[in-house]
Amino acid sequence: MSEASDGPALLIVKGSFAQYGGAERDVVRQLETWLQVFSSIRIATLHGHPDMEAEAARLGIPVFTPTQTWKGDTSVLVRITAASSRAASRAWRAFLSSEDGQASLDGVDVVHPASGEGGVEAADALPADLPLHVHMLEPRRGLHGE
């Protein structure tokens, strides 16, 4: 697709940009290139970051976040029981059923759930007819550490 207007509309879904480590910055660095491929881009996240929001604003990309941000718990018990993942799934269902969440989906042709804490958990809350493209940027933090 040579012109952005020819491409599909993309929704990038990332659980949290709060860490703003390598994976989060990788998503943000790609935004300008993706604008050449997709007719429009928007971002939905349960927890934003000022640097991501500033870059999205510079590029004219709307960012949708819930009124109450979600932050994953990294305690050992939470990791063993996957409670943070279940909490992220609940947060996505609540957000995507809200007015702002519905607005983030309006006119979207394809969804890109970015890996990381709370990202792929959005898949269950998304409409079943929306195509998904998941790119696993890095393993879950701490999963293979130490």
Nearest to 64 by CA among 90, 99, 35: 99
pLDDT at 136: 72
Q: Which of 49-63, 79-93, 102-116 has the highest mean pLDDT?
A: 49-63
Cβ-based neighbour number of residue 54 at 10 Å = 11
pLDDT at 3: 43
The pLDDT of residue 2 is above 50 = no
Nearest to 67 by CA among 89, 107, 113, 99: 99
Beta-bridge mates of residue 25: none
Domains of the chain: 4-125 (3.40.50)
Residue 141 to residue 100: CA distance in whole angstroms: 29
Q: Could you tell me the pLDDT band of residue 33, with boundaries at 50, 70 and 90?
A: very high
Q: Could you tell me the pLDDT band of residue 8, with boundaries at 50, 70 and 90?
A: very high
Q: Taking CA 57 as the corner, what is the angle to CA 53 and CA 60, rounded to the nearest 5 degrees?
A: 135
Residue 116 to residue 135: CA distance in whole angstroms: 10
